[in-house]
Structure 1
C-alpha cells in the first residue's frame, strides 16, 4: 500500500493516479482508432470493385452481417469511454491540486496549534498563578501580588483562547478536506456511470442469462456430471426396487459421461501424459488421475448390468427353439439388464462385509459405512461444482483433501465393490458362472 500523500490531513481526499488514468485513456484512443481503421477497411472491401468473382461475392455477403455495425458501435463506445476518462483525468488533477493546498494549510494550522499549546503550557506553569488565595499583611505586597496574579491569569486565558482558535482553524481545514473527499467520490461515481452508459446499445450485446448459463454449464460439465453421478449413487442406497436400481444405472451413465467429458479435455490428457512420460506427478496429475479412476469405477455397475443382460439374452435366444425378431431380442436384453441391475444394487460390498464381520448388527453397520463412503463422494462432487460458482470457497488445501478422499474411496470401497461386480460379469461372459 502506497504512503498517504497528504500526511497533515491524515487521509487521502482525492485518491487516484493521474498516470494510470492517462495511460488507459491513451490505450482506449488507440483502440478506437484501430477499430475505426478496421471498419473503414471492411467498408472498402464491401464497396470495392478491384476484387470480382464468386469468391468476392460470397465474401461481401458475409460482410453484410453484423460485423460492420458492431465495429462502428464499438468505435463509438470506446471513443465515449476515452472521452469520459479524459474528463476524469482533468477533474482528478484539480481535486489533487486542491488536496495539496489543503495539506499545506493543515500543516500550517497544526503548527499554530503546536505553538499555542506550547504557550498555554508555559502560561499554566507561571508561578504567579499560585498567588491566588494567599494572604498578605502589607497593602503594597497585596497590590503587587494581585497585579502579578491578574497578569498571569490574563496570559493563560489568552493562551487557551489561542489554542481554541488554532484548533478551530485546523478543524476547518479538515472539514474542507472531507467535503473535497465527498465531492471527489460523487464525481467518480458519476464518471463510472458515464463509462457504463457508453456501452449501452452500442458495443456488441453480452450473451443473455440463458446463453451465459449454458456457457457456464459447458465450461464445468465434467464437475457437474461427476456431482450427479456421486449424488445418484448415494441416493440409490436409500431406495429399494425399482428406484434404487434406476438410480444405480443413472449414476453409472453419469460416470460414463463424466469420463468421456474428462478425457475429451486436451489439458487433462496432457497432464496425464506428462505424468507418465515425464514424471510430472503434480497436483493436477493426481487430481485428473483420481478423477479418471473414479469415473471408470463408477461406470462398472452399468456396464456390468448391460453386459450380463445382453449375455443372458443371447444365451436364452440360443437355447430357444423359435426364431426371435429384433424387437423381441432387444426386449429380452432389456429385461435381463434390469434384472442384473437389481442384483448388483442388492449385492454386498466385499470390503464392507469384511469390516462388519462380528458386529452386533452387521446389516445396519454395513449400511452406515456404505452411506458414509457414498456421502463423502457426494460431498466432494458437490464441492467440485460449488467452487466454480463461488470463487471465495476455492482453497488449495480443500481441493487436495477432496482429491485425497476420492483417491482413498476409489482404492478401497469403490475398488472392492465395483471390482467384485466386474469379476462376476467377466465370469458370466466367459461362461464360468451363471
Structure 2
C-alpha cells in the first residue's frame, strides 16, 4: 500500500505542498533582493548619492552588464516564483482530489469485499447439490427444486454484486490514473516554465563547451603560437612529406599568431609606447619578441608560396595554350610543395658556422637546430600552460622565457629565415 492513499495503492499526485511553498517564498525573497540591488546600482550610476573620484571609477565599472543582469535575474526569479505559486495551487487541488478518490476506493473496496463474502456463502449453500438428485415423491421433488432455485438465485445475485462492485472500484482507479496523468502533464508544463525563466532571462553559467570557447578566445594568441612551435619542432624531427606539411603548418600558424597578436589593442599600445615614448618595459619586450618570432616563423611558408606562385606564373606564360584557373591553382600548389621541400632541406648558415669544427658537423647541426626549436617549443607551451594552471605562473620564469625567445629569434631563427628570405627574393627577382 502507498502511504497516504492506501485504498488506491499508488500516489496519483506526488509532491509536498509545503516544500513548494517554501521554495516559492525563497525565490520571491531572492527576487526582491535582486531588485533592491538593481535599484541601488542604478542610483550609484546616476550619481545621486555618491560623488568623488572613487564614485566615478566605480560607475565606470558599472557601465558593463551588471545592471542588465541584475534586472534580468530579478525578472527570471520572479517568473519562476510565479510558476511555482501556480504549481502549489494545482498540487494542492490534485491532492484533495486524490484523497477524495482514495475514500471512494475505500468504500468501493468494502462493498466488493462484502459482495465476495456473500458470493462465498451463496456458493457454499448445500441446496446447490440437490441438482441431479432423484426423489421418491412429487412433493419431495417440488421441495428440492424450490430450494435449488432459491440457492441458484442467491448465487447469481451475489456474483452480479461482485461484478458490479469490482466495476465501481475499477472506475475509481481509472479516475485516479487520469488524475495522475493530469498531474504529470501540469508538472512538466510548470517545469518548462521555470526552466525557460532561467534559460532565457537569468545570466547562466556557461557549460564546458562555452567555457572552452571563451578560454580559447582569451588565449588564442598563445595557443596558435604553441601550435606553430610544436609543428616547427616536428618538422625538424620528421622527414619526407610529413615534415614538409608540418613546415607549412608551422608557417601558417605563425601567420595566424601574428594577426591575433596585433589585433589586441593592448599589444599595439605597448609597442607604440615603446617606440614613441621609450617605454621599453617587460610588456614591450615580450610583445616585440612575439611579433618578431611570428614574422620570422612566417618566412618559410611565405617563401614557399611566393616561389610556387612565381613558378606557376612562369609556366602559364610559357604554355602554348591558355590554362584554366583550376590548372593554374594546381600548378601553384605543386610548385609551392616543391619549394617547401627545398626550404625544409636547406641548411641554416649560422648553425653550419657554429658546428664547422665538430667531428660530425651534419649531426651536430641537427642536434643544435632541434635543441633550439625544442627550447622555443618549451617556452611556447609554458605560455599556454600558465593560462590553464595558475600554479605555474611565475614572473621570473616568464622573463626567462621571453629572453630565450629573444635570443632564438635574433640568432638561429634570424639567420635561418633570413637566408630563406634572400633565396625567395632571388627567385622573385629572377636573380642568379
Corresponding residue for residue 355 of structure 2:
356
CA 333–402 in structure 1, closer or farther in 2 if over 3 Å, else same: same
SS at 1:237 equivalent: helix
Corresponding residue for residue 345 of structure 1:
344
Q: Is 1:70 aligned to residue 70 of structure 2?
A: no
Corresponding residue for residue 236 of structure 1:
235
RMSD value, Cα: 2.8
Corresponding residue for residue 256 of structure 1:
255
CA distance in 2, matches of 1:200, 1:426: 58
Report the alpha carbon displacement of residue 324 of structure 1 after superposing the two structures with TM. Answer: 1.0
5+ unaligned residues in a row in structure 2: which ranges?
1-30, 43-67, 81-197
| Length-normalised TM-score, structure 2 | 0.57
CA distance in 2, matches of 1:363, 1:200: 63
Report the alpha carbon displacement of residue 318 of structure 1 after superposing the two structures with TM. Answer: 1.2
CA distance in 1, matches of 2:202, 2:69: 12
Q: Is 1:379 aligned to residue 364 of structure 2?
A: no
CA 362–322 in structure 1, closer or farther in 2 if over 3 Å, else same: same
CA distance in 2, matches of 1:37, 1:281: 43
Question: Matches of residues 251-330 of structure 1 in structure 2 within 5 Å?
Answer: 251-330=250-329
CA 219–307 in structure 1, closer or farther in 2 if over 3 Å, else same: same
Corresponding residue for residue 429 of structure 2:
430
SS at 1:206 equivalent: coil
CA distance in 1, matches of 2:203, 2:428: 58
Q: Is the 2:69–2:202 Cα contact (8 Å) retained in structure 1? A: no
Report the alpha carbon displacement of residue 321 of structure 1 after superposing the two structures with TM. Answer: 1.6
> What is the count of residue pairs matched by the alignment?
260
Q: Is the 1:74–1:204 Cα contact (8 Å) retained in structure 2? A: no
CA 34–260 in structure 1, closer or farther in 2 if over 3 Å, else same: same
CA distance in 1, matches of 2:242, 2:203: 48
CA distance in 2, matches of 1:74, 1:203: 8
Question: Structure 1 runs of 4+ off > 3 angstroms?
Answer: 28-32, 36-39, 65-69, 73-77, 199-203
CA distance in 2, matches of 1:29, 1:70: 10
Report the alpha carbon displacement of residue 75 of structure 1 after superposing the two structures with TM. Answer: 7.6
SS at 1:397 equivalent: helix
CA distance in 2, matches of 1:263, 1:378: 21
Corresponding residue for residue 414 of structure 1:
413
CA distance in 2, matches of 1:66, 1:268: 31
Question: Matches of residues 140-219 of structure 1 in structure 2 within 5 Å?
Answer: 204-219=203-218
CA offset digits 1:53-93 (Å, max 9, x no partner): xxxxxxxxxxxx9996533346899xxxxxxxxxxxxxxxx
CA distance in 2, matches of 1:202, 1:345: 55
Report the alpha carbon displacement of residue 38 of structure 1 after superposing the two structures with TM. Answer: 9.6
Report the alpha carbon displacement of residue 405 of structure 1 after superposing the two structures with TM. Answer: 0.2
CA offset digits 1:340-360 (Å, max 9, x no partner): 000000111110111111311
CA 256–201 in structure 1, closer or farther in 2 if over 3 Å, else same: closer
CA distance in 2, matches of 1:68, 1:396: 41
| Length-normalised TM-score, structure 1 | 0.56
5+ unaligned residues in a row in structure 1: which ranges?
1-27, 40-64, 78-198
CA distance in 2, matches of 1:73, 1:326: 57
CA distance in 1, matches of 2:311, 2:365: 30
Q: Is the 2:247–2:300 Cα contact (8 Å) retained in structure 1? A: yes
CA distance in 2, matches of 1:394, 1:419: 34
